Structure 1
Amino acid sequence: MTSSEHTMDRALAALSTLDEIDGPMSVEVIHRLTELPAIDTPLTVAQVAELLDISAHSLRYYERIGLVSVPRDAAGQRAYSADAVRRLVFISRMRLSGMPIRDLQHYVSLVDLGDDTVPERLDMLLEHRDTIRRQIRELTLSLAATEYKIATYGGHTS
């Protein structure tokens, strides 16, 4: 199982524990899915990797390509702030949804430029949402075809 598959499994497990979801998710539900424990002191790469269920290799890669800035402590070790961890939560969710790295890099560069870029960021997210919705429709069609074939062979469909 890849790191992305493991992260998706954990996210889906957390989602399935929220009984009140019936239809589209509210902003409150989304906030609950992304809640983090209070981060009062900087975290190490190992701590962030465990907290977010992301490999240390991926964390260092995200830093190397400019998706997150992580200062070093006096000993030269990465020291992740609460803001860096929140950004990594967003990045990991976008990667799970299939957002390309180059789009994430562009998005992050816009965030770093400030509030004047909000309209462009919104456009990017709306476009990404449309892509996700199309993927869901395509997967639904694929699931229906698979269920049909299972039934053809005498299997039980869900």
Structure 2
Amino acid sequence: MKISELAQRLDVSPHTLRYYEKIGLIRDVDRAGGRRVYTENALNWMRFILRLKQTGMPLKKIQRYSDLRHKGDSTLSERKAMLLSHRQDLEENINQLQSHLVALDQKIEIYETLEKEYDALRAGIEKT
């Protein structure tokens, strides 16, 4: 598929794909008539890169992971360790976000109680 097709399927710009190729995240891009041609493997790899990015992994770490992947099976343990570490970071972020959500829910409950009390007070004043 052409760069425009890949960009559309991934919802990124062609510029992003060219940049990722330039920094080594996308390798072994075929050329046909001077144009980039991407395979389904490239599509799947880019989906994974974007998922890592969306989960907060810094681009430098993604580059490191990509370099290790390119070196082959001798780096399996190191790649796994990187993903386990990132997973732990995500779990910590999720726990922190859940804590924030609980605090927000508690504050919302306070406002709902205050609104009911205010409405009841107003209704009482209007009756008199």
For normalisation by structure 1, the TM-score amounts to: 0.67
**Alignment correspondent of 1:114:** 72
**Alignment correspondent of 1:73:** 32
**Alignment correspondent of 1:105:** 63
Determine the C-alpha separation between the residues in 1 that align with 2:94 and 2:12.
Answer: 24
The reply to whether residue 142 of structure 1 matches residue 62 of structure 2 is: no
Please identify the structure whose Cα radius of gyration is greater: 2
Determine the C-alpha separation between the residues in 2 that align with 1:88 and 1:133.
Answer: 23
The reply to whether residue 89 of structure 1 matches residue 47 of structure 2 is: yes
The 3-state SS of whatever aligns with 1:78 is: strand
Determine the C-alpha separation between the residues in 1 that align with 2:50 and 2:40.
Answer: 15
The reply to whether residue 126 of structure 1 matches residue 59 of structure 2 is: no
1:57 to 1:151, Cα distance in 2 relative to 1, 3 A: farther
Structure whose residues are more often strand by fraction: 2
Determine the C-alpha separation between the residues in 1 that align with 2:103 and 2:16.
Answer: 35
Question: 1:150 Cα deviation (Å)?
Answer: 1.4
Question: 1:134 Cα deviation (Å)?
Answer: 0.4
Percent identity, aligned pairs only, is 40
For normalisation by structure 2, the TM-score amounts to: 0.81
1:66-125 CA deviation, whole Å, 9 max, x = no partner? Answer: 100223221x22111122111101101111111110111110110111101000001000
**Alignment correspondent of 2:16:** 58
- The total of aligned residue pairs comes to 112
Amino acid at match of 1:49: A
Amino acid at match of 1:84: A
Structure whose residues are more often helix by fraction: 2
Determine the C-alpha separation between the residues in 2 that align with 1:59 and 1:143.
Answer: 36
List alignment gaps of at least 5 residues for structure 1. Answer: 1-42
RMSD across aligned positions (CA) = 1.3
